[in-house]
Amino acid sequence: MIKSLIIQKSNLIYLILIVFVFFLCGFYTFSKYAVIEEPIDNIRIELDKNILSLGMPTLYAYMQGEPKVNFQKAYKFKRVNDSIIEINDLKREGITKFRIYFEYIGKDFLLKRINLLSDSKILKTIKLSDISTFDHIEINKNGTFSVTKINGYIESPYILIYNFPYIIIFFTTTLLSILLVFLFKKIEFIEILAETNKREYIFIFYLFSIFSFHPLFNIALIFALAFYIKKFSKERFLENKINILFLLFFLVYFFNSIFVKSNEIRDFSTIERFLPFVFIPILLSSLKPKRPLFFFMMSGLILGFCLFSFSLIDLIVNKNVEYFAFDNFSKYYHPIYVSYLLFLSICYLEQHYNLKHKYFFELILFMLLVFLGSKLVLIISVILFTSFFKNFNTNRKEIISFFLVLTILFIIFKPLQIRFKEVLNFDDLSILKEKKINDSNDSRVNGLTLRLILWRESLATIDGWKEYLFGNGVSKSKSKDLYDRLKKLGLIHHVTYNPHNQFIDTFWRTGLIGLLILLSLFIASLSQGIKNKDHLLIAFSLFMMFSMMTESVFGRVRGIYFFTTVIVLLTNKDLNNENRNIRDSRSAK
């Protein structure tokens, strides 16, 4: 009776799921693309006199089918009268989207409208309220905008196209909905969700919120804490050494913010960002959810599915494979953080599933890692996955097939080859010897050389034994020191970058004390993993340790949420109790 009820509910949910996929793909398509009758011939902007008295803005465009701005060609506006400027003769350019840059600082400028015309006929009108993408620009409530830094820009809100492939998009969306239903059925997500205690739904919502939109995970954490805090166990909190280390790590930053550089204005934004180091261990000491990592894995599969679907729509509309590459593929997310989630999902599938189709899902997830394009993450993922989860003596065919498919993907996917060639060109290392880089767009500045420069310049700002021992907290002066060094070196496009190495960043801000606590986090998790022969804990700890060597993971709130939640889940005895081979019993029936 119960099983038949679950099946009936599952069928209804699958139907809702198909409708949801159509809605999601439709929303993405029509929020990103706008169909116009013919190519743009004229872009006309109505501004106020104040802004034009400071100088003319400059327009840079996206060309047809291209996912990035073409900065090689700047379009100059001509004045029509005191408040109207325009650019003419654009039909041959094939412009589909554009940015308008302002090379001066000012407040309360009025943007009445942007008209896109063809032969004096208005094709589209864009108002300031339509603008959702901008940088160094503040949109004011009174309908004006302010430019806070030189070269602030606003971007047109959608891509303009002339022939939209409605039928192809419809059939593509149909196939995608079938694929998602197939994925859910094979993983038995709906059935597992139906068997889950209803009280755990809030925690599941929290897990899924980590890779949702930015304010949501803060709301989800607060809501979950309010719901579960009554059952907080001090004994459970103290039993896990990782919880205490996270608390100490937070306190080091907190006290540094108060006592280091005492003559400066306090800046508690970093402390606010680091509060999850305290709240997440408290939350996970207040409940004992079943299969929390299963739902984390599902969030990775669902997120990967959504990103793939959106990029497939972009590919069909624009006929350009670069929409599957790196930032263009990860869309609203930093590709590095998505890669972390996908690696966890791959390892979880391998450790907790013994079903044949798991290799199909693992292959899909590795394919998504290729699209995300993080070189180090991809290499580490392959090495750790094959080292901890594959035995060559018993899985020889699987390992050979795995490397064969990855090799084929690498050969086919040209953008990834280009990224590897950039860092493998050792002649580019010559830039490290130069005291002044004359061209800020120097081709020798790549992912490797830029990081080496950032590490060197960050460490060069540390002076005296106090800074070596206690660091500089969140001192703005030390950030400005790095800013000034990078500017003096000639890297004007990278002056706002952080050190891109979590260990150096921690040492830079909190000295040896903070660095030792961070290293202790990994020592404790690896020791527990080795003691319990927990391959997932060992692999994830090593993965994050290597990842932190090339990325300041805690520079974004999402990185703090993800790392803290996963490490506490994996090291907590009460929470790390997911049944191995979780679906074997059902598959055997």
Of 159, 559, 13, 488, residue with least CA distance to 333: 559
Q: Which two structure tokens, joined as six digits, stand for 46?
A: 């109505």
Q: How far apart are CA 543 and CA 343, in angstroms?
A: 9
Residue 577: pLDDT band (50, 70, 90) is low
CA distances (Å), origin 260, targets 246, 272, 505, 530: 21, 17, 16, 38
For the chain, what is the largest distance between any 2 Cα atoms, rounded to a whole number of angstroms? 78
Of 505, 501, 520, residue with least CA distance to 471: 505
**Between 98 and 477, where is the model more confident?**
98
Gyration radius of the chain over CA positions: 26
Give the mean model confidence (pLDDT) for residues 92-102. 91
Structure confidence at residue 185 (pLDDT):
87
Q: Which two structure tokens, joined as six digits, stand for 587?
A: 């598959």
Q: How far apart are CA 85 and CA 59, in angstroms?
A: 12
Distance between first and last Cα of the chain: 17
Q: How far apart are CA 471 and CA 506, in angstroms?
A: 8
* Geometric angle at alpha carbon 349, from 333 and 286, rounded to 5°: 75
Query: Are 518 and 503 in contact, with CB atoms under 8 Å apart?
Result: yes
Q: Which two structure tokens, joined as six digits, stand for 73?
A: 């060609």
Give the mean model confidence (pLDDT) for residues 500-529. 95
Q: Which two structure tokens, joined as six digits, stand for 293?
A: 């990592």
Residue 267: pLDDT band (50, 70, 90) is low
What does the DSSP 8-state code read for residue 163?
S
What does the DSSP 8-state code read for residue 435?
S
Is the model's pLDDT at 584 over the cut of 80?
no
Q: What stretch of H or E contains 552?
A: none
Give the mean model confidence (pLDDT) for residues 494-503. 87
**Between 568 and 64, where is the model more confident?**
568
CA distances (Å), origin 135, targets 51, 149, 273, 291, 486: 17, 9, 22, 41, 21
Residue 588: pLDDT band (50, 70, 90) is very low
Of 76, 47, 46, 45, residue with least CA distance to 60: 76
Q: Domain map of the chain by residue range?
A: 2-33+165-195, 37-161, 236-286+436-580
Query: Are 253 and 474 in contact, with CB atoms under 8 Å apart?
Result: yes
Residue 52: pLDDT band (50, 70, 90) is confident
What does the DSSP 8-state code read for residue 103?
-
DSSP string, 85-98: EEE---TTTTEEEE
Give the mean model confidence (pLDDT) for residues 58-87. 91
Q: How far apart are CA 567 and CA 571, in angstroms?
A: 6
Structure confidence at residue 343 (pLDDT):
95
Give burial (CB, 10 Å; 0-12/13-18/19+) of 533.
Answer: exposed
Query: Are 440 and 493 in contact, with CB atoms under 8 Å apart?
Result: yes
Structure confidence at residue 413 (pLDDT):
85
**Between 393 and 94, where is the model more confident?**
94
Percent of the chain scored above 70 by pLDDT?
92
Percent of the chain scored above 90 by pLDDT?
51
Count of all residues that appear for the chain in the document? 589
Q: How far apart are CA 334 and CA 183, in angstroms?
A: 25
Q: How far apart are CA 386 and CA 286, in angstroms?
A: 35
DSSP string, 223-268: HHHHHHGGG--HHHHHH-HHHHHHHHHHHHHHHHHHHTTTTSPP--
DSSP-based three-state secondary structure for 473: coil
Residue environment code for 57-89, b if the CB has 16+ CB neighbours within 10 A, otherwise e: bbbbbbebbbbeeeeeeebebeeeeebbbbbee
Residue range 317-344, pLDDT digits in tens? 999 999 999 999 999 899 999 999 999 9
Is the model's pLDDT at 113 over the cut of 80?
yes
What does the DSSP 8-state code read for residue 77?
P
Residue 589: pLDDT band (50, 70, 90) is very low
Query: Are 375 and 381 in contact, with CB atoms under 8 Å apart?
Result: no
Structure confidence at residue 478 (pLDDT):
65
**Between 442 and 134, where is the model more confident?**
134
Residue range 277-333, pLDDT digits in tens? 999 999 999 998 888 999 999 999 999 999 999 999 999 999 999 999 999 999 989
Give the mean model confidence (pLDDT) for residues 479-492. 83
Query: Are 500 and 451 in contact, with CB atoms under 8 Å apart?
Result: yes
Residue range 54-63, pLDDT digits in tens? 888 999 999 9
Is the model's pLDDT at 474 over the cut of 70?
no
**Between 263 and 144, where is the model more confident?**
144
Give the mean model confidence (pLDDT) for residues 446-452. 87
The 3-class SS string of 323-340 reads HHCCHHHHCCCCHHHHHH
User: Can you say how many angstroms the Cα of residue 3 is from the centroid of all Cα atoms in its chain?
Assistant: 39
Give phi and psi for 17, each to the nearest 5. -65, -40
| CA 282, 298, 547, 323 torsion-angle sign | negative
